[in-house]
Structure 1
Amino acid sequence: MSQDNRVVERSGWAPVRHFAERSVLGLIAVIAVGLGFAALLLLVRFHWTPLQNLDHRVAEGLNHRVAASDLAVKVLQQISTFGGRVFMISLVAVVVAMLLIRRRPRLALYLVVTGVGAMILDPSLKVLVGRVRPVLETPVAHAPGNSFPSGHALGSMIVYGMLALVLLPGVRRRWRPLFLGLIGLIVALIGFSRIALGVHFLSDVLAGWLLGIAWISTTAYAFRVWRREAGHSSSPAREGLEPEAATDLRLAPAEEAVLPHPWAKAAEILVGWVLTFGLLYVAGYSFTRWNPAWDDGFCRWLQTFRTPGLDQVSWLWSKAGDTHAILTVSLIVCPLALALWRQWRPVLFLVLAMVGELTLFLTSAAAVGRPRPGVEQLDGQMPTSSFPSGHIAATICLWSAIAIIVMARVRKPWRWVFPVLAVVMPLGVALSRMYRGMHHPTDVLGACLLAAAWLSVLWWVVRPNAHAVTAAEAAVENRQLVVA
């Protein structure tokens, strides 16, 4: 070390020098990324022949390989949905809600501002450039609008990148390389899927990534300036945007073992699943062989009330119990429950309730093989048998599990909304399914047996309300953990 550097170190200017070095390097990196995007933009805008040839060779080569496999197309389409606008907006909305619950409004605002910027950049540049999407010999997918830059590539880089910056302090140090690697893999796969599906050129995806990096860097720098103005010391980017939020960002920092003796508990759950399946099989076999006249008669009686208006209402009620609706509610409730109560046990209870319901329904329906009612079926041919009703069983399990979790952790009068929903939602779905000719009344009884038996097993094994705390109590425990 030179004498001048030693003087700087002794005088206390080392942190300033390090900050200046990091700032200059960061500025150079952002400028390089911005110039890369600008270069691609100009080359595409003025139809540079070498780039056009490369884009078309890559697009045609991938299309030739992908078009030959229906499985490859389905996998790529599924990967692509993780970069779709609906999925990413929903993901950001859930994380913003969690941050607000954990009282980290600054991070929540950062996500909103950065995300809105992405929504403005993508359509604006597409209109400015006006590039047509690839035209291929064997198209396997279609997308509206112009091609440059790729909205999926831009959006995924920004959304997953900003989530990585926000959530990084809550990830343990030894897991951070894996966490960042997973984020990078997701972004890379989304970009690749858009090229392989033939809806974007290679340069579209590269431009989306470069612009996304530039935008994240700009908003992250603005956030760091905001932190310094609020009196917080600067920290390296590898520590995330707000290192002091680490404890709040961990999902359940104060929780000990989720379940004691997990292998024994797993065996108990498996035994309970087998016994529940046996109960359903016996009931389903009995109803199928017995087949009482009133079982079909009730559905025929409901058919006499059919009108176009009631058909639409019954369709809406029926959709409330389908896989998409149940999965959507579950994916919203689970992270919010973690944010509020900082415990994995209620989330585990809900997840096991839904996974068990699905597997029990599929196996018992396949084993029983009961025909649908002998009336006009408004939903057409279904891939599963009639007993038990999967829609009704899933609705009962979902809303009953939520009610069980909420009632033990909320002291406000509005908590009684959830027991009401646990009755009203299944009742509406049951009436709609029978009205539409999809199930007998005994199929509904089978769904009730499934839900009652399976939730009883989980209640006894998981004990979802053991050590239950309110949101305020969980926050106090968290603050005590920080002090300790």
Structure 2
Amino acid sequence: MQLSSLKTYIHREQKLLIGLALGAALTAGFISLADEMAEGETKAFDTGFLRGLRTPGDLSIPIGPDWLLPAMRDLTALGGVTVLTLVSALAVAFLLTRGRVRQAFYTALATGGGALFGALLKALFARARPEAVPHLVEVNSLSFPSGHSMNSAIIYLTLAVMISRSFEERRTRLFIIGVAALLVLTIGFTRLYLGVHYPTDVLGGWTVGAAWALAMGLVATRLQDRRKMEQPGKDPA
């Protein structure tokens, strides 16, 4: 094995180990959070945080200027099923137009599988919605982990990882993933501001979504390394 090939191999394996360690940390964090939530140890924190986002004396009024509430309602829709499905479909179509058929198929499988996994988690924990403050949007599903936070992390981060794999430039990859991460954080905060999720719901959603996206990214990297998926950079002819 040539020296350059050896260095490339070592660098690749180092990134894999770091990714696996981060994934393990996210998974452990979610399990710990879920355990504390199930035992009721987070109740005081959850309730206090939500009430801190409301006007003292009238918990039906959120803090902040008048324009903030409608803005939060608009932004929270970015984590809804309709928008996420549309974004996923557009991302797959984008990859197909670039001739990246295998990458497009994998992306559809990764995002769809993540959404299904999230739904199973909600059914497993069956946590009721917050009653500490009035809800500022209508909700009718279970609470833990937050579907908007979890699905937006699964979809946006997975798509960011997959689309960034189409580019060779590190700066471009980091920008794409950074924008997705900021969007995910924003959507999670809207669920707290609107009073429809506890902080632990949102944290749980973020950790699961990030772990899923990371796992999908690691698998995609392996597939590209083994020439079983289109390579970063130049599109297929």
TM range (shorter): 0.7 to 0.9
**Structure 2 counterpart of 1:19, from 12, 27, 41:** 12
In structure 1, the gaps of 5 or more residues are 1-7, 233-240, 249-478, 480-484
Cα displacement (A) at 1:158: 1.4
Of 32, 38, 42, 1:39 maps to 32
Q: 1:177 to 1:96 in 2, by over 3 A?
A: closer
Q: Describe how 1:419-438 pairs up with structure 2 within 5 A.
A: none
Structure 1 distance, partners of 2:108, 2:33, is 28
Give the alignment partner of residue 61 of structure 1, picking from 30, 52, 55.
Answer: 52
Distance 1:94 1:141 in 2: 27
Corresponding residue to 2:89 among 86, 90, 93: 93
Number of residue pairs the alignment of both structures matches: 231
The 8 Å contact of residues 118 and 158 in structure 1, kept in 2 or not, is answered as: yes
* Alpha-carbon distance, 1:16 to partner: 2.9
Q: Contact 1:195 / 1:201 at 8 angstroms: preserved in 2?
A: yes
Aligned counterpart, 2:232: 243
CA distance in 1, matches of 2:71, 2:232: 37
Higher relative contact order (CA 8 A, sep 6+): 2
Which deviates more from structure 2 when the two are superposed, residues 178-187 or residues 79-88?
178-187
Question: Distance in 2 between the 1:155 and 1:69 partners?
Answer: 29
2:129 is matched with 133
Post-superposition offset of 1:23 = 2.0
> 144, 155, 158: which is aligned to 2:154?
158
2:99 counterpart (98, 103, 106): 103
For 1:68 and 1:244, locate their aligned partners in 2 and report how far apart those are by CA, in whole Å: 45
d(CA) in 1 for partners of 2:76, 2:231: 30
1:105, distance to aligned residue in structure 2 (A):
1.1
Deviation, 1:229, is 3.5
Equivalent residue letter for 1:96:
V
State the match for 1:402 in structure 2.
none
Cα offset for 1:174? 5.0
> Aligned partners of 1:14, 1:177: CA distance in 2, in Å?
23
- 1:75 maps to 71
Question: How many Å separate the matches in 1 of 2:98 and 2:174?
Answer: 25
Q: Cα gap change, 1:220/1:181 in structure 2, threshold over 3 Å: closer, same or farther? A: closer
AA at the equivalent of 1:155: N
Q: What does 1:287-306 correspond to in 2, within 5 Å?
A: none
Identity across matched positions, percent: 28
Structure 1 residues 202 and 101, CA gap change in structure 2 (3 angstroms): same
User: Which among 177, 184, 194 is matched to residue 197 of structure 1?
Assistant: 194
Distance in 2 (alpha carbons) for counterparts of 1:130 and 1:68: 32
Indicate the residue corresponding to 2:112 in structure 1. Answer: 116
Q: 2:178 aligns with which of 167, 181, 202?
A: 181
Aligned mates of 1:76, 1:144 — CA distance in 2:
19
- Distance in 2 of aligned mates of 1:154 and 1:231: 29
CA separation in 1, counterparts of 2:12 and 2:137? 48
**Cα distance in 2, alignment partners of residues 175 and 227 from structure 1:** 18
Distance of aligned partners of 1:225 and 1:177 in 2 relative to their CA distance in 1, 3 Å threshold: closer
CA contact (8 A) 1:139 1:198 kept: yes
Distance 1:147 1:158, change over 3 A: same
Alignment of 1:336-375 (within 5 A): none
Q: Is the 1:134–1:201 Cα contact (8 Å) retained in structure 2? A: yes
From the superposition, tell whether residues 118 and 10 of structure 1 become closer, same or farther in structure 2 (CA, over 3 Å).
Answer: closer
> Residue 120 of structure 1 aligns to a residue in which SS?
helix
Distance 1:182 1:244, change over 3 A: closer
- Tell me by how many angstroms 1:171 deviates: 8.4
Task: Decide which structure has greater helix share.
Answer: 1
For residue 224 of structure 1, report the CA deviation from its aligned partner: 2.5
SS in 2 for 1:144: coil
Q: Within 2, Cα distance between the matches of 1:10 and 1:107?
A: 30
What aligned pairs does 1:370-449 form with structure 2 within 5 A after superposition? none
Over 3 Å counting, the alpha-carbon distance change for 1:202 and 1:220 in structure 2 is same
Q: Is the 8 A contact 1:63 1:139 kept in 2?
A: no
How far has the Cα of 1:11 moved from its partner? 9.3
**Residue 146 (structure 1) aligns with:** 142
RMSD between aligned alpha carbons?
Answer: 2.6
Gaps of 5+ in 2: 56-60
Q: Name the CA distance, whole Å, in 1 between partners of 2:228 and 2:108.
A: 23
Aligned 8 A contact 1:63 1:197 in 2: no
Q: Judging changes above 3 Å, is the alpha-carbon distance between structure 1 residues 242 and 202 closer, same or farther for their aligned structure 2 residues?
A: farther
Contact 1:80 1:194 (8 Å CA) reproduced: yes
**TM-score calculated relative to the size of structure 1:** 0.44
Whole-angstrom distance in 1 between the partners of 2:13 and 2:95: 31
Measured after TM superposition, the shift of residue 213 of structure 1 is 1.2
Instruction: Tell me the secondary structure at the aligned position of residue 159 of structure 1.
Output: helix
The answer to whether the Cα contact below 8 Å between 2:149 and 2:187 also exists between their aligned partners in 1 is yes
**Distance verdict in 2 for CA 1:180–1:154, change over 3 Å:** same
Change (3 A) 1:81 1:178: same
- For the residue of structure 2 that corresponds to 1:25, the secondary structure is helix
In 2 relative to 1, CA 90–63 (structure 1 residues): closer, same or farther, beyond 3 Å? same
